[in-house]
Amino acid sequence: MAKSTKTAQTPISCQLCNNDAVINWKCIDCELWLCDNCKINVHSRFKSSEKHRVVSTEDIGNDITSHLKALHISEVISSVFNTYQTELPCIHKIVCSDDDVVFLLSNSDTQNHHLIQAKLRKDSIKVLQQFDIECQDFAVNRDSEIIFAPTSRSELKAKSRTGDVRTILKASPLMILAIYLNKHGELLLGLRDKGPKYPVTDFCTRQVVILDTDYKRKSTFEYDDSGMKLFSYADRIVSDSKNNIYVVDVINDKCHGQIVCLDMNGKKKFIYKGYSILNTPDTPLIPCDIAITPKHVLLISDWGNHAVHALTEKGEICGLQRTKSLGILFPCSLSFDSEGFLLIGCEVDQGETNQRAKIHAVKIH
């Protein structure tokens, strides 16, 4: 994926005056974004002897592909390899094992709550087992135990292959949100205090903690270097091979969110709030899940905009895909299978009845 000269969290400014003026023009030949003043008083003068094509952003504003090509940002998905039809209303999370067995979580509500184990075949999906577990997130450890927090979220439990359930941790008075198992066998948890989710005040507790292999608290991350809270609601957590931690942070009750990246010591590296061409006040980032490629590219599902974003480990945009053009609607969960295909678990349109969610196996660039 081509690397952009813009950082992911920085909106586009005029590339001549570098001010935050409204961008209304694009010079196709110079590949510059221009404000009104620079288009009239600067660009037209030093390019007066040349015929440059300057177009209104309105002319290309409805075609995001033109924007991406102009900024040398590639698409994420090269092709859709396969599509699996499930019997679930949504695929909120996918966990893949090495033998193409997947664990799928659908938790729309208590009546539509499912956690299943399934086998992905060439042209179908076969349900192997359905678990009597209600949870918002889960992980699968090396012993094939399912690590989850029941409905009250005050305890962390493990369910074995034989169905035995044991309590790992009591989190009360806090609630367990996100659950992730890293390559070292350590658990990363998102925690919050009980009560309303929002607004987040100075008196709220919003944390990401690391538990060692004995499930003892090893690290707690809550504030940045300036004393500001790092998270509002840690909904999903992943980490990479360099122990960087990436958190899907939901900031309000409309599911608008951001990606918070920390290093292994809990120091904030960047916050990604979306890409300005796609994510505007009318179309904010609604992140649901994160997957990381072997080359440390961060993939983010943007549910409300039918999109997948790709970032470098520095938080720079390096790819963006409008998945709707590929028939992939409301992308929720992301996971790589053993062959390197990206699995995208989707949600059905809430306005559609009797519809079932799909999983798309795609090749990425």
20-65, pLDDT tens digit by residue? 667 778 786 776 878 888 888 888 766 544 667 777 765 544 556 7
Cα 353 from chain centroid? 26
Supply the mean pLDDT for the chain.
88
Average pLDDT in the 276-300 region?
A: 93
CATH 2.120.10.30 range(s) for the chain read 77-364
Percent of the chain with pLDDT over 70: 88
Token digits of residue 28: 């196709």
Asked if pLDDT for residue 174 goes beyond 90, the answer is yes
Residue 109: the pLDDT is 64
Task: Provide the 8-state DSSP code for 355.
Answer: -
Asked if pLDDT for residue 4 goes beyond 50, the answer is no
User: Are the C-beta atoms of residues 17 and 35 closer than 8 Å to each other?
Assistant: yes
Percent of the chain with pLDDT over 90: 67
| CA–CA separation, 203 and 206 (whole Å) | 10
- The residues near 207 (Cβ < 8 Å, ≥ 6 apart) are 174, 190, 191, 192, 220, 221, 222, 231, 234
Model's pTM, two decimal places? 0.81
Least confident of 13-22, 31-40, 158-167, 278-287: 13-22
User: Are the C-beta atoms of residues 192 and 182 closer than 8 Å to each other?
Assistant: no
Classified by CATH at the fold level, domain 77-364 comes out as: Neuraminidase (2.120.10)
Task: Provide the 8-state DSSP code for 19.
Answer: -
Cross-strand bridge partners of residue 160: none
Residue 16: the pLDDT is 84
| CA–CA separation, 134 and 108 (whole Å) | 11
DSSP string, 253-299: TT--EEEEEE-TTS-EEEEE---TTT--TTS---EEEEEE-TT--EE
Name the 3-class secondary structure at 177: strand
Give the count of beta carbons closer than 10 Å to the beta carbon of residue 158.
18
